[in-house]
Amino acid sequence: MAGDEKLTWDRRSGEGLTIHQPRSGYRFSMDAVALAKLADLNPADRVLDMGTGCGVVALILACRFPGTSFYGVEIQKSLADIAARNARENNLSHRITILHQNITALTPAATSGLVDAVVCNPPHIEKSRGRINPDPTAAIARHEIDITLSDIITASFTMLKPKGQLQIIYPPVRLVELMARMRDAGIEPKTMHLIYSRPDTPARRVLVKGIKGGQPGLDIPPPFIIYNTDGTYTEAARHMFGEGINSAAAGCETDFLFDTSG
Is pLDDT of 142 > 60?
Answer: no
Q: Are 101 and 73 in contact (CB under 8 A)?
A: yes
- Percent of the chain's residues with pLDDT above 70: 80
Give the residue with greater pLDDT, 107 vs 4.
107
Give the residue with greater pLDDT, 155 vs 132.
155
Among 57-71, 134-148, 188-202, 231-245, where is mean pLDDT lowest? 134-148
Give the residue with greater pLDDT, 131 vs 30.
30
At residue 134 the predicted structure's pLDDT band, cuts being 50, 70 and 90, is low
Among 50-59, 66-75, 141-150, 159-168, where is mean pLDDT lowest? 141-150
194 bridge partner residues: 206
Give the residue with greater pLDDT, 240 vs 221.
221
At residue 92, the pLDDT reads 97
Angle, CA of 108, 86 and 124, to the nearest 5°: 60
Is pLDDT of 248 > 70?
Answer: no
At residue 9, the pLDDT reads 80
At residue 85 the predicted structure's pLDDT band, cuts being 50, 70 and 90, is very high
At residue 135, the pLDDT reads 54
pLDDT digits (tens, 9 = 90+) for 15-54: 789 899 888 777 888 888 899 999 999 999 999 999 999 9
At residue 94, the pLDDT reads 97
Q: pTM of the entire structure?
A: 0.85
Is pLDDT of 112 > 80?
Answer: yes
At residue 129 the predicted structure's pLDDT band, cuts being 50, 70 and 90, is low
In terms of Cα–Cα distance, which of 220, 155, 208, 210 is closest to 188? 210
At residue 252, the pLDDT reads 52
At residue 259, the pLDDT reads 40
At residue 245, the pLDDT reads 52
At residue 147, the pLDDT reads 81
- Three-state SS for the chain is CCCHHHEEEEEECCCCEEEEEECCCCCCEHHHHHHHHHCCCCCCCEEEEECCCCCHHHHHHHHHCCCCEEEEEECCHHHHHHHHHHHHHCCCCCCEEEEECCHHHCCHHHHCCCEEEEEECCCCECCCCCCCCCCHHHHHHHECCCCCHHHHHHHHHHHEEEEEEEEEEECHHHHHHHHHHHHHHCEEEEEEEEEECCCCCCCCEEEEEEEECCCCCCECCCCEECECCCCCECHHHHHHHHHHHHHCCCCCECCHHHCCCC
At residue 31, the pLDDT reads 86
